[in-house]
Chains A and B, each alone.
Chain A
Amino acid sequence: MSFLHRHPRLRLAALLSAPLLWLVVAYLGALAVLLVSAFWTVNGFTGEMVRTFSLANFRTILTEQVYRNVTLRSLGVAASVTVICVLLAVPMAFFMAKVARPRSRHWLVIAILTPLWASYLVKAYAWRVLLANGGPIESVFGATPGYGLFATILVLSYLWLPYMILPIYAGLERLPDSLLEASGDLGARAGRTFRSVVLPMLIPSVFAGSIFTFSLSLGDYITVQIVGGKSQLIGNLVYANIGAANNLPFAAAIATVPVLIMVIYLVAVRRSGALEEL
């Protein structure tokens, strides 16, 4: 022990080598392989990889209309899911953090977390049954949206809602009650207090939650396969090119699209200071 104590650099190296190795090899390494293989091609017949540099994959993605459409559709779904989650999560989190009694707060947090215990697939298939013709939704409301993009947005919002509620709840908990009281003392009504005091302080938390909902929706391909009808998103194209077409390089090229979108999004979010909220 005293040896390590006398060599602080060695101590640091021993402590950090495993996580750093993980970060560089498994995490960044995988991304690097992805980037490199995006420039390869595949022999269409035998499926063997041809390891020569080629921009063909990116040319296809940029020139073919369908890839632009799918990208825009995926962005639309991810944005809608995020907006719906914000609209649902803000009042919910506000109630949890400021209205509910401290004792019931814990139970509310547990209630928010319990759906995360069930498998993603089980929940998605449950929605497939719910939305089916003659399913529970139709018998209660008289109509069902059926399978399609709307159903996809609905189910994704359901799946990712906890990831939005929790950061907002954490943000609100840190908001001192005295600020709300001061605002009230100065004559502001509830709406004004919310707009001028709560919301500005909440923005970073909302952005933090949106990173989860947005990136999770952008990469999803299972929900849309189960309830999305005939729609396809970026994730489906990646999956189809790996699982079905065995065209790993093209899948890698497609996969760089959401990576790019997320990098742009993260840079934008970082400017708002939301990353400190995570």
Chain B
Amino acid sequence: MGHNGRWMTAVLAAGVLTLAACGGGSDQGSGSGPGGLAVPKIDKLAALGAGEGSVNIVSWAGYVEDGTTGKTVDWVTPFEKDTGCQVNNKVAATSDEMVTLMKTGDYDVVSASGDASLRLIYGGDVAPVNTDLITNYKDIFDGLKNKQWNSVDGAAYGVPHGRGANVLMYRTDTVTPAPTSWGAVFDANSPYKGKITAYDSPIYIADAALYLMKTQPDLGIKNPYALDDKQFEASVALLKEQNKNIGEYWSDYTKEVQAFKSGNSVIGTSWQVIANLAKADKAPVESVLPSEGATGWSDTWMISSKAKHPNCGYQWMDYIVSPKANAQVAEWFGEAPSNKLACEQTTDKQHCTTFHADDESYFDQVWYWTTPLAQCVDGRTDVTCKDYSAWTQAWTTIKG
């Protein structure tokens, strides 16, 4: 036995050494990053060809609906009929998951939020988009084109999909009076102790930072994604305090719907689509945009640099921002559409007004998810900000 054991150890050690040697060799390939922001050179598609018969999508829940959720909630079937591209959709729960999934190279297009898009661009995981091939691109609000999160040096890396704010959702039967401030989830003496929920992702730290930005001006937070040491510590401390009152963290939206329906969660951050689903499930919930404003998202359809179905991918990106489809998604998900003409296609004619589709001053109050970098994204140069890996590690600490 002792003899065999030694033999195994030798094999294991040999394997380790071989791998270590291999690892050392392929080191030179990576070099881009916040230090010397160099974008990998990737060509955009020159011309559209015939569809490949299928397209693999990574999306947020509610973005790619084929009628399985509800008979009327279906914009995938017409696309499949028209183009012959079979849609295979994978719902991701967080931006981090999207980045991880796109790195596998198994997916063609992704609905990336601002805290994923730049990481995908600089990681060489997505290709620039030839907007001439997207016929609906011309109808997209100018306020969404060529933004810091979807373009680099004037080159578009995606097609804007829509935008919105993370809302505060609560059960109307237990939470009275109706909350108007994020203070409801950060109050240490909350009457809803043990029934508060929060989004299970490091990016949620920005929600605490936003609250502190409005309630503790002396911290000097100007942008919830640009936090120096002191501001970061304060935000993390607030979340650690909040942890005592949390019932559970959610990232799986079905879990969130069920928790609100059974009353295990009664108040917490949410998406409008989750509120819609919970209401459809007969849960007594409402959602509100608190007075402090909110974190939010501005999503972009991007195409993988390793796409196996680029033509179907382009057809999807074009279709999903077409007036009719864009209106359907926007209404179902509860966000502002990106296509001007979508406002005429919504069932609720007030939809674009309700969600402030072309109201830039409203969206000035919404802090789109952005990847925190060591170089502060608010422009400060005298301090170093906490980067996303620090946020990730802190998130583990917050949950304890």
Q: Is the CB of B27 within 8 A of A147?
A: no
Residue A245, interface by CB 8 Å: yes
Q: Is the CB of A243 within 8 A of B97?
A: yes
**What 1/0 flags go to B190-227 for Cβ under 8 Å of A?**
00001000000110000000000000000000000000
Q: Is the CB of A32 within 8 A of B389?
A: no
Contacts of A51 in B (CB 8 A): 23-24, 26-27
Q: Is the CB of B122 within 8 A of A46?
A: yes
Q: Is the CB of B387 within 8 A of A246?
A: no
Task: Write the chain B residue with the least CB distance to A25.
Answer: B15
- In-complex Cβ contact of A44 among B103, B201, B387 (8 A): B387
Q: Is the CB of A132 within 8 A of B396?
A: no
Restricting to B295-320, which residues have a CB under 8 Å from any CB of A?
A: none
Task: Write the chain B residue with the least CB distance to A39.
Answer: B20
Contacts of B180 in A (CB 8 A): none
Q: Is the CB of B389 within 8 A of A42?
A: yes
Residue A52, interface by CB 8 Å: yes
Bound CA–CA A245/B387 (angstroms): 12
Say which size band chain B's interface belongs to.
Answer: 35 or more
Residue A184, interface by CB 8 Å: no
**What 1/0 flags go to B121-144 for Cβ under 8 Å of A?**
011100000000000000000000
Bound CA–CA A28/B33 (angstroms): 34
Q: Is the CB of B388 within 8 A of A48?
A: no
Pick out which of these stretches binds chain B: A4-12, A198-206, A229-237: A229-237
Restricting to B228-259, which residues have a CB under 8 Å from any CB of A?
A: 243, 246-249, 252, 255, 258
Contacts of B395 in A (CB 8 A): 240
Bound CA–CA A32/B243 (angstroms): 37
Known: A45-B33, A237-B396. A242 touches B26 (CB 8 A): no
Residue B30, interface by CB 8 Å: yes
Known: A42-B389, A66-B397, A133-B263. A35 touches B247 (CB 8 A): no
Restricting to B18-46, which residues have a CB under 8 Å from any CB of A?
A: 19-20, 23-24, 26-27, 30, 32-34
Task: Write the chain B residue with the least CB distance to A60.
Answer: B393
Known: A32-B12, A229-B248. A247 touches B389 (CB 8 A): yes
Q: How far is the CB of B262 from chain A (nearest CB, A)?
A: 4
Q: Is the CB of B262 within 8 A of A69?
A: no
Residue B292, interface by CB 8 Å: no
Residue A50, interface by CB 8 Å: yes
Say which size band chain A's interface belongs to.
Answer: 35 or more
**What 1/0 flags go to B81-102 for Cβ under 8 Å of A?**
0000000000000101101100
- In-complex Cβ contact of A243 among B30, B100, B258 (8 A): B100
Q: Is the CB of B96 within 8 A of A244?
A: yes
Q: Is the CB of A48 within 8 A of B258?
A: no
Q: Is the CB of A45 within 8 A of B119?
A: yes
Q: Is the CB of A45 within 8 A of B399?
A: no
Bound CA–CA A69/B389 (angstroms): 21
Q: Is the CB of A45 within 8 A of B12?
A: no
Residue A264, interface by CB 8 Å: no
Contacts of A219 in B (CB 8 A): none
Q: Is the CB of B15 within 8 A of A246?
A: no
Bound CA–CA A204/B103 (angstroms): 47
Bound CA–CA A132/B392 (angstroms): 30
Residue B276, interface by CB 8 Å: no
Residue A49, interface by CB 8 Å: yes
Q: Is the CB of B11 within 8 A of A24?
A: yes
Binding site for A on B (CB under 8 A): 8, 11-12, 15-16, 19-20, 23-24, 26-27, 30, 32-34, 94, 96-97, 99-100, 103, 119, 122-124, 194, 201-202, 243, 246-249, 252, 255, 258, 262-264, 371, 373, 387-390, 392-393, 395-397, 399-400
7 nearest A-B pairs in the assembled complex, by CB-CB distance: A44-B389, A46-B123, A132-B262, A244-B96, A48-B30, A51-B23, A32-B15
**12 pairs across A/B with beta carbons < 8 Å?**
A32-B15, A43-B33, A45-B33, A46-B33, A50-B30, A51-B26, A132-B262, A240-B395, A243-B97, A244-B96, A244-B201, A246-B103
* Besides A28-B11, A46-B122, A47-B119, 19 new A-B residue pairs in contact (Cβ under 8 A), listed by A number: A28-B8, A33-B19, A42-B389, A46-B123, A47-B100, A48-B32, A48-B33, A64-B393, A67-B396, A128-B258, A132-B264, A133-B264, A147-B247, A229-B247, A230-B247, A244-B96, A244-B201, A245-B389, A246-B100
